[in-house]
Structure 1
Amino acid sequence: MKKLACVLALAGAFVSTEALAWGNDGHRAVGAIADKLIKGSNAGKQVAALLQPGESLESVANWADCVKGNYCGPQTPEMVAYVNANPKASEYHYTDVPFQKDHYHDGDVGTGPDDIVQTLKEAIAVLQGKTDPALNPHGFSKREALLLITHMTGDIHQPLHVGAAYVGADGKFVVPNKHTDIDTVAIFDSRGGNNFLMDDEKVAAMGKQIEGENPKPREGVPRALTKPFHSYWDSTSVDYAMRRIGTRTPEKFAQAVIDSNPGVVKNSGDPVTWPYQWADDALVVSKLAYADVTLGPGNRQVGKKGDVYYNWNIEVPSNYPVPSSAIAKTQLIKGGYHLAALLQAIWPNQ
């Protein structure tokens, strides 16, 4: 609990006191903040030239998720072409650095050539106009690069998209030293927290600590018995973050944030290095996300392809929605401001 108490101090380090207190709404919020911040700038004009009529960063912020299926609507020819050309696209959204570590390093355990840091580097180089094929191995177009950057700048600020948890045979968190250590015998991968299951009734009860109503289950869809820890951070914490400042839509959240004039730490150096800075920041935050989380016994599972993995029921502190929503709010703000700053660094005012 003492560890979690420091989250508000962390939030204050990045956001001013006026602003103290990623699913669909989280990504749209990041895009909406950036839309407002670049309006009228050269970056805004360049972005508009790459977007289709009626599109905005907010409206395309989930494009990189929507390509995975039909839940956003029918696949467009553009989406089909992207998926066909990028068979490893699902790996672009995250990296799995042990959350106990302080820095992302190329080639270190949990990283990969197609992870979120490398993908963002590539997409940034494309928008910078760098034409060396080695810098764009996936052949992203400028429009695809913009769509990916808009989404993945949100992803990389979600702590579980960077800081990963690995579990030893004794049921405790461990730090693997190399890729081959993660062998489902001595060390197990929690798959970005997706294999950590929370009691959904407890989550709903704890959510009453945040002013406002819990989201109602969709009609005809019963409440799940469990909620993956990753899902909690993707969506539930975002809902709580919006409730904290009395907003219910990404656009209103963005405006309230900007009106509060948050003090967001700026990145430095060549923009192509910024994903490393963002990943290191997410590792700081992931330590808070996992603070005082306790694991129950592992439950062995066998996937459809015969792969073996484990699920663990987890317990979090009874006040977890309070600090986690503060973290989510801060990270969404940083995501939006960093996205805007990146685009303005690529396309500065003339």
Structure 2
Amino acid sequence: MIRSNYFLMVPVLILFMFFSTRASAWGSSGHAIICEIAWQNLTEKTQAWIEPLYKEKGFDTFAQSCNWADQIRGDDRFNYLAPMHYVNVPKNASEYSQEIAICGKKSCVTKAITTHIINLKTERKNLSQSLLLLSHFVGDIHQPLHVSYAQDWGGNKIKMAAENKFGAVLASNLHQIWDSWLLETLSLSDWRQAANSLNKNISNSQKQTWSEQQDVHLWAKESYEQVKLIYAQLDSTQKVTTQYADKHANYVRQRLQIAGIRLATLLNSMTD
């Protein structure tokens, strides 16, 4: 399956972005947005608990640390983590369920989230790594194409053309459009600014509702519902414009908000 970064003006960087690896979700800004929203909703006790853990890995902020799981790609010591960024379902599945999820021998995102929750609650070693992986994987599962199909690598094999905000048409694929192009086109690439704005626009009732939804398989089910819509909307032109971004803008923004609140709730529960 999966992933990577952002539309820039420099052609070499554009090519590097679109044809790099298979393992990130929401691009680097998306993960940072989710974790910054989470940070702003953590109790002081929880912030004090996790701060030395992410700093142990060399990060100044929790938001930046949430990209560690992508930054270690290419390091052979961490190759075993690759399948943990996603979960596959059968191509003909009408809805996601735990029973039909294809979680390989080397794990998947739903199992990995559960594993690292247990690690953080019970283990006294490797806590920093578990924190960074859990926080990243919570972001992954809320990007819909991380709950999709093995046949096309979660949309990576579906070639698309995407028009950037300057009107230039760039080669891409369906997965990259959802990982990075949408965030860039919707002006969400400044993670600090985006997180502050998104967090301010979460109502108390939304926080309450999302906080109560702590079932990892529900999160996967929600993503798969969007995946079905994404595939149903593919047309023969295989091209998306800024109108496509506008159509999905509310969903993308809310999905980032939901992931941030759910992550905060999860981490706060560990210091209750």
Partners in 1 of 2:61 and 2:167 — Cα distance? 27
Q: Deviations over 1:3-34 (max 9, x none)?
A: xxxxxxxxxxxxxxxxxxx1111111111111
CA displacement at 1:96 relative to structure 2: 1.3
Q: What letter is aligned with 1:111? A: C
One-letter identity of the residue aligned with 2:61? S
For residue 227 of structure 1, the aligned residue among 158, 169, 172 is 172
Question: What SS does structure 1 have at the residue aligned with 2:87?
Answer: coil
Letter in 2 for 1:141: N
* Residue 259 (structure 1) shift: 1.5
Greater fraction helix: 2
Quote the residue 2:152 is aligned against. Answer: 190
Tell me what 2:3 maps to: none
SS of 2:243's equivalent? coil
Matched, 1:260 2:201: yes
Structure 1 letter corresponding to 2:109? I
Aligned residue runs from structure 1 range 76-87, under 5 A: 83-84=76-77, 86-87=78-79
Q: Select 1:105's aligned residue among 95, 98, 115.
A: 98
2-structure distance, mates of 1:102, 1:145: 30
Query: Are the structure 2 counterparts of residues 341 and 126 from structure 1 closer, same or farther at C-alpha, using a change threshold of 3 Å?
Result: same
Q: What is the number of residues matched between the two proteins?
A: 240
Q: Return the offset for 1:280.
A: 1.3
Q: Which residue of structure 1 lines up, in the alignment, with residue 134 of structure 2?
A: 149
Share of identical aligned residues, percent? Answer: 23
- Does the CA contact (< 8 Å) of 1:159 and 1:289 recur in 2? no
TM-score by length of 2: 0.78
* Other structure's SS at 2:55 match: coil
CA distance in 2, matches of 1:248, 1:124: 29
State the partner residue of 2:146.
161
Which residue number in structure 1 is paired with residue 184 of structure 2? 239
Which position in structure 2 is the counterpart of 1:337? Answer: 261
CA 1:232/1:142 → structure 2, altered by over 3 Å: closer, same or farther?
same
Would you say the 8 A contact 2:211–2:261 is kept in 1?
A: no
1:90 counterpart residue number: 82
Task: Tell whether the 8 Å contact from 1:35 to 1:56 is kept in structure 2 after alignment.
Answer: no
In structure 2, do the counterparts of structure 1 residues 89 and 110 end up closer, same or farther at CA, with 3 Å as the change threshold? same
Counterpart position of 1:50:
53
Structure 1 match to 2:111: 118
CA contact (8 A) 1:24 1:62 kept: yes
8 A contact 1:289–1:324 mirrored in 2 = no
Name the CA distance, whole Å, in 2 between partners of 1:142 and 1:128: 9
Is the contact made by 2:27 and 2:179 (CA closer than 8 Å) also made in structure 1? yes
Do the aligned partners of 2:143 and 2:223 also contact (CA within 8 Å) in 1? yes
Paired amino acid for 1:127? L
238, 249, 260: which one aligns with 1:314 = 238
Q: Partners of 2:48 and 2:54 in 1: how far apart? A: 10
Aligned partner of residue 238 in structure 2, secondary structure: strand
Give the aligned partner of residue 61 of structure 1. 66
1: CA distance, partners of 2:101 / 2:210: 28
Once the two structures are superposed, the pairs formed by residues 275-290 of structure 1 within 5 Å of their partners are 275-290=216-231
Distance 1:116 1:215 in 2: 36
Bigger strand share? 1
For residues 184 and 144 of structure 2, the distance between their equivalents in structure 1, rounded to whole angstroms, comes to: 16
How well do the aligned residues superpose, as a CA RMSD in angstroms?
Answer: 2.7
Q: TM-score, normalised by structure 1?
A: 0.62
Residues 117-171 of structure 1, C-alpha deviation per residue, up to 9 Å, x if partnerless?
A: 111110011011169xxxxxxxx8211110101111111100000133x7xxxxx
CA positional deviation for 1:315: 5.0
Q: Secondary structure at the match of 1:346?
A: coil
